[in-house]
Amino acid sequence: MKVLGKAMRSIWVEADGWSVGVIDQTQLPHHFATARLAAADDAARAIRSMLVRGAPLIGATAAYGMCLALRQDASDGALERAYALLVSARPTAVNLRWALDEVRRAVAPLPPPERAAAAYQRAAALCEEDVAINRAIGERGLALLQEAWARRGREGRVNVLTHCNAGWLATVDWGTALAPIYMAHDAGIPVHVWVDETRPRNQGAGLTAWELGQHGVPHTVIADNAGGHLMQHGLVDLCIVGTDRTTARGDVANKIGTYLKALAAKDNGVPFYVALPSPTIDWALQDGVREIPIEQRDGAELCDVTGRLPSGELATVRITPPGSPAENHAFDVTPARLVTALITERGVCEASPDGLRSLFPERTQAGA
């Protein structure tokens, strides 16, 4: 997607042919800065300190971290040390381990002198696969936006509400929930996005607003509290959100607050779509509310807000009184009954066991 008018991805190999560039997302939306990763340590640090975030981008960064390590030392010992270093950078990130396994599997059987080149090849392929999946999600979702535009008689604008950041900054390009929006915008549909601020980490106000703005997509930031009111007044045509984990019956775990928006959508007859790459489907789970453990993060994320002072400097202010505790539940689960449809790279389906099996018939046995 575009930044300062120029197409870019969230991760790339630099012109030197080996070092790796990423956007320093901790500075967004206030400063646009990139960082150059020249060793596995740099990649681990970028993941740990959240210069990069979002499961697919973390995976891609880890894969390139392996490349950087093998470039310096391609021995079996170095391979295992790099794996151990990178896998511990965000211990709960499933995608991170998967990407590292992919690279290790590709290079371990090779003689050491061939390993670095093979690792770069595999890392690049992982990135292309991610882009292809998201492009497919975008194309599938685009049809839903075209329908919404037709329902409006091609008058006014199509208002889409989204929560958190499921955009290209979380992936390699396109994003998941935002991919259909970028495609609709690029196709000339007058789409306008209501961007939920997404407390407590403000990924909407910070990252989603920034990436939509850079690509030129009209948008308005709102409080997480506002979506229901907008839907009551006909100001939302559809919702699209991402998900971290989907169960075999279509329950979706996503950023805290998603469930509240889905309730409001249901109450007002607004379609509520969830965009997901199929690897995030957990075929072993059914009842998301009961079975998906929800991460509790530090309450300080709620109490302390970081932003830009009038001077341009970044600062962090505390908004709660001394002695008032805070709890920070990071995700919630939206039951399938509130989800109009799932948008996957294979197509759009009902959020139900049958719906998912219709797109993924190879899972019919496994899902039983």
Tell how far CA 328 is from the center of its chain: 20
Q: Considering the rule CB under 8 A, would residue 315 count as an interface residue with a second copy?
A: yes
Q: How far apart are CA 70 and CA 76, in angstroms?
A: 10
Q: Considering the rule CB under 8 A, would residue 124 count as an interface residue with a second copy?
A: no
Query: Is the distance from CB of 53 to CB of 44 less than 8 angstroms?
Result: no
Per the structure block, which two tokens stand in for 350? Answer: 């009902």
Closer by beta carbon to a second copy, 71 or else 192: 192
Please give the residues from 185 up to 224 whose contact with a second copy meets the rule CB under 8 A. 195, 197-200, 202, 205-206, 209-210, 212-213, 219-224
- 203 appears as a binding residue in the annotation: yes
Q: How far apart are CA 334 and CA 337, in angstroms?
A: 8
Q: Considering the rule CB under 8 A, would residue 35 count as an interface residue with a second copy?
A: no
Per the structure block, which two tokens stand in for 121? Answer: 């090849």
Cis omega (within 30 of 0) for bond into 56: no
The residue among 199, 197, 17, 224 whose CA lies nearest residue 121 is 17
DSSP state of 4: T
Query: Is the distance from CB of 189 to CB of 28 less than 8 angstroms?
Result: no
Closer by beta carbon to a second copy, 29 or else 271: 29
Q: Considering the rule CB under 8 A, would residue 327 count as an interface residue with a second copy?
A: yes
Min separation Cβ 255 and a second copy, Å: 8
Closer by beta carbon to a second copy, 339 or else 349: 339
* DSSP symbols for 14-55: -TTSSSEEEE-GGGTTT---EEEE-SHHHHHHHHHTTSS-SH
Per CB under 8 A, the list member of 120, 168, 259, 272 interacting with a second copy is 259
267 is catalytic: no
Min separation Cβ 176 and a second copy, Å: 19
Query: Is the distance from CB of 257 to CB of 332 less than 8 angstroms?
Result: yes
Q: Considering the rule CB under 8 A, would residue 102 count as an interface residue with a second copy?
A: no
Catalytic-labelled residue, pool 173, 224, 237, 244: 244
Residue ranges of the binding site: 53-55, 90, 203, 254-255
Residue ranges of the binding site for substrate: 53-55, 90, 203, 254-255
Q: What amino acid positions are annotated as catalytic residues?
A: 244
Q: Which residues bind a second copy (CB under 8 A)?
A: 28-30, 195, 197-200, 202, 205-206, 209-210, 212-213, 219-230, 232-233, 255-257, 259-261, 263-264, 267, 289, 294, 299, 302-310, 314-321, 323-329, 331-333
